[in-house]
Amino acid sequence: MAWASTGSSNAELIDNMLRNGILGEVVGEVVDGSQSEAEAASDRVARAMKKVDRANYVRDKRDAYQDSPQSIGHGATISAPHMHAYAASHLLPYLPPGGRVLDVGSGSGYLSAVFYHLINDPHGEIQSLSSPHTKSKPLVTGIEHIAQLTDWSVSNLKRDGLGEALETGQIDMVTGDGRLGYPPNAPYNAIHVGAAAPELPQELVDQLAPGGRMFIPIGTHLQNIYHINKDETGKVTQTEVMGVRYVPLTDRKLQEEH
């Protein structure tokens, strides 16, 4: 089902995911509410994804609206659109207006752009959440350990209309080891990890705000997505969600030698 959503345009790709139930299905799992709330939530994800043209984040535009991962060089891939949809849906209740998110292994910058639009959606509030937002900190931080990919993601975001958000510091794309998170902009209401960690990095848990959620693939050969939730008292719980295949969250040298 997931692979059947390929479209001939960005809007068609996202409409196909909606029609195939991908957005509704995952949102239904994580939004604890009525059918109409789940529908409103999947519409919110679709609205944000429609603002991000995947053609601006791939190396070969002919592949832009294929529902599959594509190589972006340096041993990295842009994830398949349905995986981006899952990630955005699973984190949706943790992305209130003005909330803050960390995108680890930001690669092409695609998902950082989706997160930015979700946080800026004026119709977006699903549940009230205490947000640690202060004006001086960025809404979206992307961290990527290959400098050429960080630079490329910045040009992709600019091409996609987010130059002003970069200039005003609402989006901050940095080069560094994402296993250590990015303390200057912490804490984060939501943390997305776009590469598979051999084990849960404690630094990322520490940088998650109370009431927040991390979406992280963990494992080497066999990998699973986990939700790491931190409650208001700081108690951390882990839930295994689904089996996946991601590139590893690793050392830069190891990845480039690969």
Pick 80 or 129: Cβ nearer ligand SAH? 80
- Would residue 79 show up in a list of annotated catalytic residues for this protein? yes
Tell me which stretch binds ligand SAH (CB under 6 A): 27-35, 90-98, 144-152, 221-229: 144-152
Selection from 132, 131, 101 nearest residue 114 by Cα: 101
Q: Is 108 in the site for ligand SAH (CB under 6 A)?
A: yes
Q: Could you tell me the two tokens for 92? A: 């949706």
Select which of 5, 42, 79, 153 is catalytic. 79
Are 113 and 84 a contacting pair, CB within 8 Å? no
Q: Is 144 in the site for ligand SAH (CB under 6 A)?
A: yes
CA distances 107 to 112, 178, 237, 248, Å, are 9, 11, 28, 13
Tell me which of 26, 85, 119, 195 binds ligand SAH, using CB under 6 A.
195
Other beta carbons within 10 angstroms of residue 72's beta carbon come to: 21
Q: Is 105 in the site for ligand SAH (CB under 6 A)?
A: yes
CA distances 114 to 13, 121, 162, 206, 256, Å, are 15, 11, 11, 24, 27
Tell me which of 46, 111, 157, 162 binds ligand SAH, using CB under 6 A.
111
Cα 173–Cα 86–Cα 111 angle in degrees, nearest 5: 15
Q: Is 58 in the site for ligand SAH (CB under 6 A)?
A: no
> Least Å distance between CB 33 and ligand SAH?
28
Q: Could you tell me the two tokens for 44? A: 């919110």
Tell me which of 70, 79, 131, 189 binds ligand SAH, using CB under 6 A.
79
Q: Is 215 in the site for ligand SAH (CB under 6 A)?
A: no
What amino acid positions are annotated as catalytic residues? 79
Positions that interact with ligand SAH (CB under 6 A): 74, 76-79, 105-108, 110-111, 143-146, 149, 177-179, 194-195, 247, 249-250, 255
